[in-house]
């Protein structure tokens, strides 16, 4: 189970090869084919687009949004 720290909004990190969404030190999703692929069951990451460009991401934990 992942501790959901509301003070940690998460970040996008790159290891030199792949991009990941990381929150509280845990990799939640990996970027693949221009989409986020969840690495943790029950977690969904989606792009929020503004004027056709990715503006931010949204992390959803089994139906609750963060």
Tokens of 22: 């990381």
* 30 contacts: CB under 8 Å, gap ≥ 6: 18, 19, 20, 36, 37, 39
Q: What is the pLDDT of residue 7?
A: 61
Q: What is the pLDDT of residue 13?
A: 95
Beta-bridge partner residues of 56: 48
Q: What is the pLDDT of residue 63?
A: 56
* In a domain? residue 53: yes
* In a domain? residue 18: yes
* In a domain? residue 61: yes
pTM: 0.76
Domain count, the chain: 1
Q: For the chain, give me the number of helices (H) and strands (E)?
A: 0, 7
* In a domain? residue 26: yes
* In a domain? residue 20: yes
Q: What is the pLDDT of residue 55?
A: 77
Domain limits for position 21: 11-65
Low-confidence ranges of the chain (pLDDT < 50): 1-3
């Amino acid at each position: 189970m992942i501790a959901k720290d509301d003070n940690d909004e998460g970040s996008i990190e790159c290891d030199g090869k792949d991009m990941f969404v990381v929150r509280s030190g845990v990799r939640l999703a990996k970027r693949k084919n221009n989409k986020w692929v969840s690495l943790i069951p029950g977690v969904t990451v989606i792009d929020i687009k503004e004027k056709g460009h990715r503006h931010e991401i949204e992390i959803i934990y089994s139906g609750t949004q963060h």
